[in-house]
Amino acid sequence: MKVSLKFFIIGLITFSILSCKKNKEEEKTEFKKVDLQKNIGENLILPGYKKLIDKIDSLEYFHNSFVISPSIELFNKIREVWFDSYLEWNRVSMYEFGPALEMGLKGSIGLFPNDTSKIIENINQGNYNLSTVSNSEVVGLHVFDFLLFRNQAYSDYESNSNYQKYISDVIDKIQSELSFVYNKWNNSYLEEFKNSTSTASSSAFSLFVNEFVKSYEETKWTKVGIPSGKQTLGIVQKNYIETRLSKKSLIVLKENLKAIKQCFNGQSFSGVNGIGFDDYLIDLNRASLVDHINSKLDEIISDIENISNDFETQLDLNPAIIESLYDKIHLITVSLKTDMTSAFGVLITYQDNDGD
């Protein structure tokens, strides 16, 4: 009887240990990408587009007010609202997939530099179709850097009806395209996005990851690399400086990188940390990669904040600071494009231009 009791107790203990182990294993749930994409879609993409639409509507309102009764106060307000709109665009420009890709939103709203001679030609002739390929470089938000900040901007805007009409037409085009993208997301694409989680190249998750990384590289190329000469054999290209006339390019760069970091961490506009790429990487035991990406982005953003000059002035006075900024942005490319995508099992399908 004592031997039987002994084996009974041992068996009971073994069963209890195995049961506890099984319960703990059951508590660990598999990471669900649908939750990641739900958070990004509902708390970043949709509200991001809505904020941009609201800003463009405000731009239209103040423009119409200026046409009726021009004043320097309204002119300055239009400049202010335009720049707010431009920052909002830089917070959603990374979502160029799904409806945005269908519309070609980045090419029509975010293209820079612009063909300023063609803009003036259109205004003078008063007869143009802004939807044609020939006018692809004279539309979008960046054209307002020229229309609102050129030397004779106020006098032309105040007195030239063609000038006023051109601004109205550019705003109308932006509104139409944004409405298309927002309505698509709001009516059907959000559900498709949330549930298309495979790593196939055509899946929404794969398209999202690709566009996120591509957007980061485009920030490196267009906002820093090309104008500074880092990607043009050392030849500085000042005409490629973003918002050159309004001298806002470093602010735009900072806000764009902050938006990229926000998306990476799944942080909503209200500051709530939801599920993002960081959580997926942590689930894949890549917490050190998350820390590296976040710390380096913070360092770059801090460096930008410590530059007291505008981009062009800094290039003239101390180009080494801009070169250092580019190098730091470039270093994170491998972390995002190779390390992160490899962990996710996503294949990079877009073509870059610098071989990392």
Q: Which two tokens stand for residue 144?
A: 């307002």
Task: Please give the pLDDT value at position 19.
Answer: 45
Phi and psi torsions of 267, nearest 5°: -90, 125
Task: Please give the pLDDT value at position 351.
Answer: 77
Task: Please give the pLDDT value at position 70.
Answer: 98
Alpha-carbon dihedral sign for residues 178, 183, 185, 189:
negative
For 28, which DSSP code? S
pTM of the model: 0.90
What is the spatial distance between Cα 149 and Cα 35, in angstroms, rounded to a whole number? 44
Question: Per residue in 199-237, is it b (16+ CB within 10 Å) or e — as a string?
Answer: eeeebbbbbbbbbbbbbbbbbbbbbbbbbbbbbeeeebe
User: How many helices (H) does the chain have, and how many strands (E)?
Assistant: 19, 0
* β strands within the chain, DSSP E: none
Task: Please give the pLDDT value at position 356.
Answer: 55
Phi and psi torsions of 286, nearest 5°: -120, 40
Q: How is 120-152 classified by DSSP, letter by letter?
A: HHHHHH----TTSGGGTTS-STTHHHHHHHSTT
What is the spatial distance between Cα 1 and Cα 296, in angstroms, rounded to a whole number? 68
Task: Please give the pLDDT value at position 208.
Answer: 98
Q: Which two tokens stand for residue 328?
A: 């730091």
Q: Where are the alpha helices (DSSP H) in 93-220?
A: 99-103, 105-109, 116-125, 143-149, 153-159, 161-184, 190-195, 204-218
Q: How far, CA to CA in Å, does 145 sit from each of 35, 82, 93, 239, 247?
A: 39, 9, 18, 13, 9
What is the spatial distance between Cα 185 and Cα 100, in angstroms, rounded to a whole number? 9
Task: Please give the pLDDT value at position 353.
Answer: 56
Task: Please give the pLDDT value at position 141.
Answer: 98
- Per-residue pLDDT in tens (0 to 9) along the chain, 356 residues: 444 444 444 444 444 444 444 443 333 457 999 999 999 999 999 999 999 999 999 999 999 999 999 999 999 999 999 999 999 999 999 999 999 999 999 999 999 999 999 999 999 999 999 999 999 999 999 999 999 999 999 999 999 999 999 999 999 999 999 999 999 999 999 999 999 999 999 999 999 999 999 999 999 999 999 999 999 999 999 999 999 999 999 999 999 999 999 999 999 998 899 999 999 999 999 999 999 999 999 999 999 999 999 999 999 999 999 999 999 999 999 999 999 999 999 999 997 655 55
Tell the residue number behind the tokens 């050159």, with chain if given: 244
What is the spatial distance between Cα 297 and Cα 313, in angstroms, rounded to a whole number? 24
